[in-house]
Amino acid sequence: MRLELPSGEFVLPSGIIASTPDIILRVARSSERLGVITTKSIGISEREGYKEPIVASVGGSLVNSVGLSNPGADEFVRESAGVRKELNDQGKVLMVSVFGGTPAEFASVASKVASCADWIELNLSCPHASGYGAAIGTCPATVREVVAAVREAVDLPVFAKVTPSPGLVGTVARAAVEAGADGIVAVNTVGPLEFASDWGWPLLKNSLGGLSGPAIKEIALRCVREVRESVHVPIIGMGGISSRKDVEEFRSAGARLFGVGTALWGMSTSAVGSFIDALHSGAAAVPDPPPMGYSRFTVREAWGSGMRVIRLDGSIRAAPGQFVQVLLPGKGEKPFSLADSDPVLLLVRAVGPVSRALASLEEGDEVFLRGPYGNSWAPQGPSCLVGGGSGVAPVHFAARRFRGMVDCIFVGGRTSSDLPLLDSLSSAAETHVSTEDGSTGIRGLVTDL
């Protein structure tokens, strides 16, 4: 089998941004310099992964513990129909990352996803999922068995993603290549490691996670050198790349393609493309990272039944359309759209464990926020706002922020208790209301207004 590398020298690593087929396609279109898009790691069956928070900032780098969440091989194949063809039409490669607990399981997953893949990546190095990844990838004999099983199962280029283990990684890479691997991805995140917040609780719900970004660059470079000294197949180098200088250092170490992950965290699709292009030309400067640190707030007011209103004792700099991550230590973290930013106002419906805990907060309780995230919105002229249920939160934020530019508001809920901010909305603009039970406004949906 002859392995042809794409003209684009940059690789989007597994788990970074490209988490769904739609996002893969949008990111692929963003830059001609992006040659390989790697999917999130796929297993034999659906896996939920860990509870939030699953990612946190550590001194300009990131620590994550996703837990190999994925839809399972069969569902992945169904969702990914047509993705490879569109990428191939752009001269790009779709590399499907797979994981398993045994050589046979790796081979089974690889054979299932082969129809929608150009290359297969073997995740032999995830540091935080018990029984997977690094638990397998630090044993050369087991790596040899895994690669051999996959090599027999598929007729596609196979890349082994190795652990950041200086002194061992060359031996592991050699075992993989001798068993049939066509290339090496070096390296995965460093870990498992545990980091605590300023208030003492673990930054991740799972406690242990893998470190990526500038903090691991020197380890990654050493590993790439050791792999190059041991094998003579293409190496995809990654681990802290954020400038042209970094790219050239990895090239000198022996890499042919270059994975860029942590530097892209929090970027929009268009920003990813611009950064990759600038990285190629040498003009790239790492943008300011999204706000990952937590701020502590106290609940000043909490009221409502069906939909709870939580008003906090401070403000954040945010714009309508943006959201925040809300954390209750020991319970978890979930995203919520802002209903206002000064002071912070949230609308919460008790659905899952985190939202139920948040909805039960009373005056004086503590909560932690990070953000804001997402794209903001501003009217370009007279506008009407439409929202239902929890979607009333950003409508309220926009109506209050852009008072005078909003001509009318349309909101709906299941019952009147779902619309606790109705009076505030009505004071901002003419408001039309629907409820499914007819308790307020017309009986029906907001689309019936």
What tokens were used for 422? 């109705």
**What is the token pair recorded at 111?**
């054979």
Within 13 A of 44's CA, how many CA atoms are on the CB side? 10
Query: Residue 116 catalytic?
Result: no
Q: Indicate the burial class of 166 (C-beta count within 10 angstroms; 0-12, 13-18, 19 or more).
A: middle
Distance CA 258, CA 69 (A): 25
Give the whole-angstrom CA distance, residue 274 versus residue 286.
11
Of 315, 350, 322, 349, whose CA–CA distance to 338 is shortest?
A: 322
CA nearest neighbour of 64 among 163, 239, 162, 191: 191
Query: Residue 76 to residues 21, 86, 94, 158, 445: CA-CA distances in angstroms?
Result: 9, 17, 13, 19, 34
Could you give the angle at the alpha carbon of 339 between the alpha carbons of 334 and 345, nearest 5°? 80
Compute the distance between CA of residue 390 and CA of residue 408 in angstroms, rounded to an integer: 19
d(CA 100, CA 119): 17
The CA-based angle 65-43-138, given to 5 degrees, is: 65
Count of C-beta atoms within a 10 Å radius of residue 107: 22
- Residue in this structure with the two tokens 């270059």, named with its chain if needed: 258
Which residues make beta-bridge pairs with 11? 36, 259
How far apart are alpha carbons 403 and 385 in whole angstroms? 12
User: Measured at the alpha carbon of residue 66, what is the angle toward residues 121 and 274, in degrees to the nearest 5?
Assistant: 70
Catalytic residue among 126, 139, 384, 408: 126
CA distance 291 to 372: 7
**CA atoms 20, 26, 28, 33: torsion sign:** negative
Residues constituting the chain = 449
Supply the residues annotated as catalytic: 126
